[in-house]
Structures are given as structure tokens and as C-alpha cells.
Amino acid sequence: MALDSKVPAGTLADKWTTHKGEIPLVSPANKRLLDIIVVGTGLAGSSAAASLAEMGYNVKAFCFQDSPRRAHSIAAQGGINAAKNYQNDGDSVHRLFYDTIKGGDYRSREGNVHRLAEVSRNIIDQCVAQGVPFARDYGGLLDNRSFGGVQVSRTFYAKGQTGQQLLLGAYSALNRQIAKGRVKMYARHEMQELVVVDGKARGIIAKNLVTGEFERHSAHAVLLCTGGYGNVFFLSTNAMGSNVTAAWKAHRQGAFMANPCFTQIHPTCIPVSGENQSKLTLMSESLRNDGRIWVPAKKEDAEAIRLGKLHPNDIAEEHRDYYLERRYPAFGNLVPRDVASRAAKERCDAGYGINKTGEAVYLDFAAAIMRYGAEEAHVKGLKNPSDAEVKALGEKVVEAKYGNLFQMYEKITASNPYKEPMMIYPAVHYTMGGLWVDYNLMTTVPGCFALGEANFSDHGANRLGASALMQGLADGYFVAPYTVGEFLSKDIRTGKISTDSPEFDAAEQAVRERTEKFINNNGTKSVDFFHKRLGKIMWNEVGMARNEKGLKQAIADIQALREEFYADVRVLGSANGMNPELDKAGRVADLIELGELMAKDALERNESCGGHFREEYQSPEGEALRDDENFAFVSAWEFTGIPAEAKLHKEELTFENVELKTRSYK
Amino acid sequence: MDLTLKIWRQNGPQEKGEMKTYPISGVEEDMSFLEMLDYLNDKLINEGIEPVVFDHDCREGICGMCSLFINGEAHGPGRKVTTCQLHMREFKSGDTIYIEPFRAKAFPIIKDLMVDRSAFDRIQRAGGYISVNTSGNTIDANAIPVPKENADKAFDAATCIGCGACVATCKNSSAMLFASAKISQFSLLPQGQPEAKERVLNMVHQMDLEGFGNCTNTGACEVECPKGISLENIARMNRDYLFASLSSNK
């Protein structure tokens, strides 16, 4: 099967407008005859469900949480990018497009990314009209901040809760349609299977998580807005319930999985504290504006700190190694996420880590506190202020900027970041890979679409900060509502899809068998036991640095783990009723298969690019070596039964509007 | 540390529940409260006992899914934290900890510590939105300046996570802090004005239909709110409600 990206012809800036004009319309009377299922109610799902319902389609929306408002988009902190150029700093649609392509290390599709940059401006207008309370300046106009990897100020924000405010905006639009009866909302429901009839996605089997019942839902199209799969690493910044099941079931039914190994490891997270930890917490990228990252320059100092014999404040300036400033003088502490993460790992692997596990570095605000303090003292006209006075003034400034983050850090670690440097370490945060989609966001299963983090399309091998929210809302509000028309316009005479068909029977039967197997397994180990082991394999071999030997080992280990999981997992209770352990077992089963495919994908990509770093492909200075000649393509994997034996399809990436360059931040 | 946990177990909405005692040792002070429950559940599974069911998701204090009434307080001891942000260092070895679900007539128990808060969604559906279609073809975002003070207050109100601690804490099981937060957010913004009267009337009406009680100005909700939503919002809602009742054409 040849992959057709369906990117429209024409000049880059005209593609989307031309395409929108050419998509067949579905008349209002016919829209009422068409049903659409939306799985997931994060930014992409809520916005898509609301928009499609407004247009007149019948929408059914599903989420596993108790309310659509709780989807994990809510946890996004920093902001959302848009090429508004309100700051008059030379921003434009083209610049946002270019930054995103470059930031993604030239592994994304030009057409899709340009469309994203175009609609970014509408997102801000739309959200303000919905009452999203973005930060404003004293003139009453919208404020902006800067984010990593770019040279303009285009990030709109609502303190450290931008994701929450945007999601609640989309949730309110969704609520309006639920109230009108145009969206039927199914909370505490989880998709268990995609139903394909005559080669088209025509429905899902959903589980009512409260009663344990399986329900058949039919539709003319199914939109998967189910987020990323970072939880394959067990420890990540994802929510506990985030999972790959919906996407993986679609993959098993014929939807190709694209670039699954492209994982974003965020450099500034609170380090792992113990074996019983369940998740990792992010400290916003904005902290790198003022925090300086360092480790001791002498190994014996690092050792003494680990043993609790030395305090970081007692290490003299000349014995500290500000390794990002040393290695990347041009960008310093504000290098992109992939670069900063790898540099931290390099220092810790070399024995300079500073917590008891040896996997942490310092993020230090002492210099910023003194700098801001001196400024404040000057403003206040203080003559010869003491260091203590300057420090107190500086702490106030830092508190105003980052107070909520400092408080969050102190709650988790019981350490005061005003008095001693924060300890941070990289953690899994986002997955650029996902279901392969064409320009219309349709997967290789006709009628099955993927939006937001669930698809692979816009971020290449590395996502820039504040771009995930932009993509989720772009797909849901402004792209999918148009592009589903191309598929649905052929379905106006199809009539209601029956759930009483052999395909639905078979799908439900398969789900029942899987469920019963878990319940009657009589194993000895909890689901978490296996999930944690999967996480360790993934983190060690398919994490920040990968090599051929480790990846081959990972595939073997994951295959063995899968066998052991099915033989020995223990799920108590019954299938009739609320049983979170049972639900977790199903999710972990799919994560195990996905992990194997991720290792396979990483093994086949013999280059280093973005979040994918192969140790064999690096410069003598340890920088990533991309191979555009042989790897400027999207890896789209077709399921064949065993993940490691998936069939590779290549979508060649052509760059007509940007020149491929080596990313340098030195 | 060694603890004695007294946990509410209830098999289903219609079944009788009871407090069960679980001694537990080996709890570390760096664990979050929910990680302590994970740890307990792992032990229970190994002993062949069904694990305790509780709601949770993001585990960083923003999704609003976690709940729990711990030692008589919503989200346990400590201010401005959700249960997932509570750490075991707040307790000491030898402590007995009572863990119950959020209790209110409008929050029926689903199982053990998990309750049904869908009444909150229905309040939002009654008017917690601005009626604008998602065409993207609205006016430019900067066309209407909003005074910073109002924008900041609207934001503060909008940070409600919908966890229900206010209801669980209130002696009247009132949802006024929750409803007033959304009503205030839109009341403070120019975009919210056209529907302001209907919104407050409809949302308050729905709140009553769901079986939430009324506000008697005790202020416990504000104290226990993990996001510090201010009582000022209830006052604003009451003013808006009065104004709407007197001047609405409906």
C-alpha cells in the first residue's frame, strides 16, 4: 500500500485555503443523518466534538474520566503559540512555520505545519471570545512570553495554567452542545475496540467503567483524540489513566503507527525519589529563563553531596560546571528540550549527578535572585545594601514570576528552592509519534481520524514548547471539522449503521474474551508490577540514548515480559461492575505491545534526530548526527501480528520551502 | 512508618458500606498520599483482597479527579493542596488515618471512595459557557481590551478544578462556591455580558435541582478549597442573581 499524504498542490501559503474551498460540502439536512464518534475529550476531542455538533452532525463523545473536563490537556502549564505578532517583533505565519519545522529537526510535513501556523491566530481569537482569561497587560491587551528555541515572543498564557483554561474553554463549548442534545456525552467509558465494516471505521465497542457492560456504538466516522503514550515508560508526566489503547486497537485494525520512537523527554522535572513513585512532575520550561543549570566540576564534590556531606551552596563558583552555558554559549540554558535533556544525562552518566540515585542536576536561582535584588535596590534608591537585603528583594521578584512553581516544588520535595538550588532531571513528557494521518487527518483506515497528540503529524522529531496546545485546538476547532467532509460527503445515502452485524459481534466477542482471560487468570503479580518492569526496560534502552545492542535486547525483554504478563498477572474482583485493576490490565497489555514497536522503530532509524538519539550516530562532541540522505522519511508501521515484525512503509518528506540545515545552538 | 488505615469500603451505590481497618508498615515519607494507597493496594492484591477503589488521574493537583475526606478534612490536612499533592511526611509513624469518600446527597457513592460528581457537569451545561460558535471568525482577540484587574479576577475564579471539596466540606452540601466561580469568571469579562442574567438564573436553578444545599456564609469551603477560590465569588453571584431576578424578562 502506497502512502498518500494528500497534501494539496500549489504554493505553501495557498494549500489550505484552496483545499478548504474544494472539500465537498454536506448539506445541513444531510449532516443530521450522519453520526460521528469522538473518543477522548482533551483539547482536540472537546473542540472537535463541539465544532462538529455546531455544524449539525450527531456526535457521541467518550472519555474514561468522570468528566470531560479532566482530560490531561488540563495539566499543560506554560502557554500556547500563535503568530499574532502583537509584540511587533517580526513574527509571522512563515516564521512560526519555520521554527516548528526546524525545532522538529526536519522530520515533519511542510503542508501540515504551515496550516497549523495559519490557524494558530484564529485559536486565540476563538478562545478570547469563549471567555478564556489569558494574561493581560495594564492596557488591557493580551500579554506574551517567550519559550525555548525561538527568538520572538508569541506565547499566550494564563499563569501556569494555560492548558486548564483552554480545556475549560473547549469544555464549555462542548457543554453548550450537550445541553442542546447535539452531543451525547459518555463519561467513565473507555473504547475497547474499533469496529471496521467493509474496510471503513464504523463504530467502537466501549466499556461502561461503572457497570462493566460493553456497549456497541456505530457511526459514519470515528475520531480518535486520545492523547499520547508516554505512560509506556511507567514514570512520566502523563496522568495515571493516559493510555494508548484506542490508538493501538486502531493500529491492530489497520491504522499505521508513525514514528513511534519519537518521544520528548522534558529536561526539567522533579527527580525520581523512590521505588513507589507513581508519576513525575514537570517544572515549567519558563524556569530556564532565570535558572542556571549546573553540577559540581569535581567528581569528589558530587560524591560528597550524594552522601550528604556537602551542601551545594558551599561549592565555590569556580568548582561548578554550568555545562549548558559551557557547551552551548549562544543559547545557554535555553537550548531546546532534547538538547538540554541529553546534556543532563551525559553529566550524570559521567558520575556528576547530585542526588542519592545520582540522577539529578541543579537548577539554581541564586544568581537571578541577586541580579533582580540589585535591580530592585537600585529602583528603591538603597545605598550600599547588604547581601541579605538584596537577596530578600530578589526573592520577592522571583516569587512574583515563579511563585506557584516554587511552591509546588517545595510541596513535593520538602526543600526550599529560594534557599538551595532545585534538583531536576529529565522525564518523559510528550510523544511526537502516533497514528499516521494524511493531510485530512485520516488514518490508513478510511473513516478513522486521529487528532492532537494521538497523531504524528506536526512536530517531527521534537516538539517546541507551547505547541502542543496549539496543535490540539487547531486539529479540533479548525481542521477536522472541514476535512471529515471529504469522507462523509460520500456517506449521505448510507443510512444509519447497524450495530447488529457480524463485525460488531466479532469485535464484542474479542473484547469479552480478553476481559475474561484477565479475570480468570489466577496469576500472582499485580498489573503495576509488570507496568513498572516495562517502564524500566523502556527507560534504560529506549529512553534518552539508544543503541543497536540495547534496542535488540529491549525487544527480546519486552517479548518475554508480555508472555509473563499473560501467564502471571493477577486481577481480582469481577468483570461486572467497577474494576479499575481490570481496566489497567487492558491498558498495560497494549502498552507492552507498543513498547516493542517503539524499540523496533528506534532500531531501524539509523540516525540521531530530535528526541531520537542513537549513540552510534553522534559527532565527536556528542551532538546528534542526522542523516537526511537516508532517513528524511516518516516511518509508518503496519501491524502484522507481532509488533517487532511490523511492516515498514515510508512516506518520503520533501522540503520545498526550507533548506535542511544542521541544528546548532552553540 | 507504620500506620493504621480506617477506610470506607462499599461495594456499590445501593450496598451498605463500612469502615475497615488496614494496618500498614513500610510507608515512606516521600510518598504522596495516593502512592501510599497504591502501596496498600499492591499489598491487598498480594493477599487476595480486592483493592480500594478511588478516583485519581493527573496526580499534580490540576485535573480535580482525586477527592477523599482524610481525618475529617477534604483533601486532608494542609491548605491549598489536593489529595494527590499531600505527602506522607505530614503524618507520623503510629498514626491512625481515617479515609472516607466526599459525602453529599448530590454525590452518590459509586464504589468505596469513588463518588459520582456528574451533577457538577450538569450545572455547567445549564449555562457555564458563552454562546459563540467555533468558526474562528470572531473579532480579533485584542479588539476589546479587558482591564487587567478584571482579567486577573476572572482567571482566579476560573482556576476552580471542580473537585467538590467545597461541597464535601459544607455543612449544607452547598455547591455555591463551585457555581459562583464559573458565573464570576464570565461576569467579570465583557464577552460574558450578553447572557449574564440567564446564566446565573439557569445555573442556580440547576444547582437546586441537583439537591445541593444553600449557603449560610460559614466560609469552610474557601478554607478547604485546594485552589483558594474566594468567597467573594459567592457574593458576586448573589448580587448577579438578585439583579437578574428583578430585571430579567423571563
Q: Over the stretch A502-528, which tens digit does the pLDDT of each residue have? A: 999 999 999 999 999 999 999 999 999
Q: Are residues A403 and A539 in the same domain?
A: no
Q: Look up residue A626 and give its amino acid.
A: R
Domain at B221, CATH number: 1.10.1060.10
CA–CA gap between residue A97 and residue A274 (Å, rounded): 41
Taking CA atoms, A655 is separated from A108, A419, B7, in Å, by 10, 49, 60
Question: Based on C-alpha coordinates, what's the Rg of chain A?
Answer: 25
CB distance B236 to B183 below 8 Å: yes
> pLDDT by residue (tens digit) across A450-471?
999 999 999 999 999 899 999 9
Q: Are residues B19 and B96 in the same domain?
A: yes
Interface of A with B in 442-501 (CB under 8 A): 477-478, 481
Question: In this structure, are B24 and B86 located in the same domain?
Answer: yes
Residue given cell 498480594 in the structure block: B46
**Beta-carbon separation of A75 and B63 below 8 A:** yes
Domain co-membership, A306 together with A419: yes
- Residues A141-164: b if buried by 16+ CB within 10 A, e if exposed: bbbbbbbbbbebbbbbbbbbbbbb
A235 Cα to chain B: minimum distance (Å): 12
A299 and A413 within one domain: yes
Alpha-carbon distance of B207 to B123, in angstroms, equals: 6
Task: Read off the C-alpha cell for A337.
Answer: 528540550
In sequence order, which ranges of A236-336 are alpha helices (DSSP H)?
245-252, 299-306, 323-327
Verify that B88 and B131 share a domain, yes or no.
Answer: no
Q: Are residues A515 and A411 in the same domain?
A: no
Could you say which of B31, B63, B141 has the minimum Cβ distance to residue A125?
B141
In angstroms, what separates the C-alpha of A346 from chain B's closest C-alpha?
A: 27
CB–CB of A462/A611 below 8 Å? yes
Which residue, chain included where needed, has cell 455580558? B193
Fill in the DSSP letter of residue B49.
P
Same domain, B103 and B147: no
Closest-CA residue to A229 (of A472, A535, A642, A449): A535
Residues 6 or more apart from A12 whose CB is under 8 A from it? A97, A110, A111, A114, A656, A657
What is the SS3 assignment for B146? coil
pLDDT at B250: 63
Residue-wise pLDDT tens digits, A378-390:
999 999 999 999 9
Whether B173 and B196 map to the same domain: the answer is yes
Alpha helices (H) in A32-109, listed in sequence order? 43-55, 93-103
Put simply, the chain A residues between 354 and 413 with a CB less than 8 A from any chain B CB are 408, 411-412
Query: What pLDDT sits at residue A331?
Result: 83
Q: Are residues A548 and A424 in the same domain?
A: no
* Chain B residues closer than 8 Å to A130 by CB: 129-130, 132, 191
**Residue B101 and residue B129 in one domain:** no
End-to-end, the C-alpha distance of chain A in Å comes to: 43
| A76 touches A452 (CB < 8 A) | no
The reply to whether B105 and B184 lie within a common domain is: no
Cα atoms in the Cβ-side hemisphere of radius 13 Å centred on A265: 28
Residues 191..250 of A with a Cβ closer than 8 Å to B: which? 210, 237, 239-241
SS3 (DSSP) at A206 = strand
Which of these three, B110, B133, B150, is where a domain ends?
B110
> What's the domain range around A287?
266-428
Closest CA to A246 of A456, A76, A4, A434: A434
pLDDT at A1: 66
How far away is chain B from the Cα of A225, in angstroms, using its nearest Cα? 17
A337 tagged catalytic: yes
Cα B93 to the center of its chain, rounded Å: 29
Residues of chain B with Cβ-Cβ distance to A580 below 8 Å are 51, 53
| Alpha helices in chain B, H assignment, sequence order | 33-46, 118-125, 148-158, 165-169, 176-187, 196-209, 220-224, 232-247
Out of A123, A187, A526, name the one closest to residue B118 (CB). A187
Residue A303 lies in a domain: yes
Smallest Cβ distance to A136: which of B39, B87, B151? B151
Mind listing the pLDDT tens digit for each residue in A282-308?
998 888 888 999 999 999 999 999 999
Is A657 an interface residue toward B (CB < 8 Å)?
A: no
CA A141 to CA A131: how far, in whole Å? Answer: 14
List beta partners, residue A624.
A618
Between strands A422-431 and A361-364, the pairing is: antiparallel
C-alpha cell recorded at residue B55: 478516583
Contacts of B142 in chain A (CB under 8 A): 86, 141-142
Judge whether A451 lies within some domain: no
| DSSP per-residue letters across A618-658 | B-TTS-B---HHHH-EEEEEEP-SSGGGPEEEEEE---SSS
End-of-domain residue from the set A428, A447, A473: A428
Nearest Cα to Cα of residue A476 among A47, A57, A139, A93 = A47
Nearest CA distance, B216 vs chain A (angstrom): 28
Q: What is the CATH number of the domain that holds A537?
A: 1.20.58.100
B20 and B87, same domain (yes or no):
yes
Same domain, A422 and A526: no
Amino acid identity of A618? Q
A123 chain-B contacts, CB cut-off 8 A: 136
A517: part of which helix (H) or strand (E)? helix A502-519
Domain count, chain A: 2
Final residue before a domain boundary, out of B80, B110, B140:
B110
Whether residue A523 is contained in a domain is answered as yes
> What pLDDT is stored for residue A662 in this prediction?
86
The reply to whether B146 and B197 lie within a common domain is yes
Q: Is A477 domain-assigned? A: no
CATH code at position A306: 3.90.700.10
Q: Alpha-carbon distance A341 to A105, whole Å?
A: 16
* pLDDT at site A275: 85
**B146 and B81 together in one domain:** no
The CATH number for B84's domain is 3.10.20.30
Say yes or no: A515 and A617 in one domain.
Answer: yes
Tell which residue, B166, B61, B120, has the closest CA to residue A75.
B61
Between CA A259 and CA A648 the distance in angstroms is 10
| CB-CB neighbours of A414 under 10 Å | 11
Quote the minimal CA–CA distance from B24 to chain A in Å.
Answer: 14
- Give the total number of structural domains in chain B: 2
Rg of chain B's alpha carbons, rounded to an integer? 20
What pLDDT score was predicted for residue B168?
Answer: 98
Closest CB to A164 among B31, B53, B159: B159
CA distance B167 to A403: 28
Residues of chain B contacting A240 with CB distance shorter than 8 Å: 56-59
Q: Do B141 and A84 touch (CB under 8 A)?
A: yes
And the C-alpha cell for A261?
520512537
The residues of chain A scoring below 70 in pLDDT are 1
Q: Which of A337, A342, A463, A614 is catalytic?
A: A337
Give which of A232, A606, A252 is closest to A433, Cα–Cα: A232
**Structure letter (DSSP) for residue A313:** G
The model's pTM is: 0.97
DSSP-derived letter for residue A24 is: P
Question: Which chain B residues are within 8 Å of A276, Cβ to Cβ?
Answer: 28, 31, 35, 38-39
**Vertex B89 angle, CA B88 and B95, to 5°:** 70
Report if residue A321 sits inside a domain: yes
Tell me if A289 sits within 8 A of A268, measured CB to CB.
Answer: no
Distance CA(A288)–CA(A541), nearest Å, equals: 28
B66 contact A CB<8A: no
B106 and B124, same domain (yes or no):
no
Regarding whether B95 and B203 lie in a shared domain, the answer is no
* End-to-end CA separation in angstroms for chain B: 61
Tell me which DSSP letter residue B184 carries: H
Pick out chain B residues at pLDDT < 70: 250
Whether A595 is covered by a domain: the verdict is yes
Please report the pLDDT score of residue A403 as a whole number: 85
Asked if the Cβ–Cβ distance from B136 to A125 is below 8 Å, we say yes
Domain stops at, among B72, B90, B110? B110
Alpha carbon of A453: minimum distance to chain B alpha carbons (Å): 17
3-state DSSP assignment of residue A80 = strand
Q: Give the H or E element holding residue A129.
A: helix A110-129
Q: Which residue range forms the structural domain that includes residue B94?
A: 3-110
Query: How many other C-beta atoms are found inside a 10 Å radius of the C-beta of residue A551?
Result: 22
Locate the chain B residue with the closest alpha carbon to A577. B12
Q: In this structure, what C-alpha cell is assigned to residue A555?
A: 525487544
Are B141 and A70 in contact (CB < 8 Å)? no
Chain A residue numbers with beta carbons less than 8 Å from the beta carbon of B124 are 69, 171-172, 175
Report DSSP letters for A549-591, one per residue: HHHHHHHHHHHHHHHHHHHHB---S-SSS--HHHHHHHHHHHH
Give the separation between CA A275 and CA B27, rounded to whole angstroms.
Answer: 12
